[in-house]
Amino acid sequence: MAGEIVYADLRHLGDGFSPAEKRHIFQGSLQPATTSITRQGSEIRERNHTERCLISSIMRYFCKPRGDSPAAGAGCKLCPQDWQLHGDRCYWLSKEVGNWTQGRKGCEDQKSQLVEFQEKKEKEYIRNITGGSTRPVWIGLMSISKEWRWVSDTPLNTEMFGALQEMDKGCGTLKDDMLEGILCSEEHKWVCQKDPFQLSPSMAGDGEKCDDSV
């Protein structure tokens, strides 16, 4: 509305107005817009302050203090509900069973992927969250033309994890503490992985005073 007033005033200004009068009309027409911008800026600052205080409260609740530093001083990593944090990743074991393709899609539906092992201790941790079951669980490993590769298209490190039997087309599982290649059509649970959400002190704002009720 303010912009329309400015446009109309400028268009219909005739020679009967002095330059000073024209300037007064122009400036007067902008005042409502300036007030609106100021109010919007104040609302944005208040909303940002509320969000930073909320993050600060979340960090005090979830993040462990380190040494003499204040709570969450070094930041922390959070996983979705029912996911488990280990190292730099969140892991989740499915409750349902399905073939390898269903497992892969199940992970993708949760913005994640079938688990890939980069080191032995990661494999050992996954064995723990499966309860040490002797039933296989799907992982992000597949064989195409007798070559085993992870879903990220990186080759399997056979020196670290051992070699799997050659298969023209097969899918990888973790069974107890061994990697095993089987037919992709079999039905098992699967394990997904994703990056955690990283909370850091900078998100909460340094030195801001927050109401404890936030």
SS3 sequence of 110-148? CCCEECCCCCHHHHHHHHHHCCCCCCCEEEEEEEECCEE
For the chain, where do the domains classified as CATH 3.10.100.10 start and end? Answer: 77-194
Q: What is the pLDDT of residues 29-66, one digit of tens each?
A: 444 555 666 676 676 766 776 776 776 666 666 676 55
Residue range 190-196: average pLDDT?
Answer: 96
Question: Is 139's pLDDT higher than 90?
Answer: yes
pLDDT band at 214 (very low <50, low <70, confident <90, very high): very low
Asked if residues 111 and 195 have their Cβ atoms less than 8 Å apart, the reply is no
Does domain 77-194 correspond to CATH entry 6.10.140.120?
Answer: no
